[in-house]
Amino acid sequence: MYKIIGTDGQCYGPVGADQIKRWIAENRVNGQTLAQPEGATDWKPLHAWPEFGSDLAATQPPRTSAPPPLTPPPAQHLANRASNKIAAGVCGILLGSLGVHKFILGYTGTGIVMLLVTLLTCGMGGVVMHVIALIEGIIYLTKSDEEFVRIYVDGRKEWF
């Protein structure tokens, strides 16, 4: 004799193994349904009981074929993810010492570093920051959309 925990959370039984087999055939219980034999204190899923194995196997839905292989994202989706490429590249070339291109790409910390170096050095460090940003802007603009998304959007590469 067994007790069963139903999908409603209620305890049913004690019932015999034949009744449980009928419930399996009627799809009222499955391999994940918790059961406890009389006198035991632990609950186990029905698939752990060998006496129900053949009944559970008979009610299993047929396996579907393997999922289709992953396909590359559509061109429109890729274009949306690379939409900041041109803005970041142009701002890197024109306003690079202020770190604007970093803010556009969502690299707030890096943008603040560039801005602070420029401001705290009274523009002297801005020359170095502008050279860095000029190189980055050119790199952004010369990358393909796929490469830009892979490196700077997904990979989150902040420098060069």
The pLDDT of residue 125 is 94
Q: Which residue has the tokens 């194995």?
A: 53
pLDDT at 30: 84
Residues of the chain with pLDDT under 70: 58-78
34-37: strand order across its sheet: 11-15, 2-5, 34-37, 44-45
pTM above 0.75, yes or no: no
Which part of the chain has CATH 3.30.1490.40? 2-59
Going by C-alpha positions, the residue among 120, 114, 109, 84 that lies closest to residue 99 is 114
The CATH number of 2-59 is: 3.30.1490.40
Please give the Cα distance from 88 to 143 (Å, whole number): 12
Closest among 108, 103, 109 to 88, alpha carbons compared: 103
* Angle between the N-to-C axes of helices 108-120 and 124-142, in degrees from 0 to 180, rounded to the nearest 10: 150
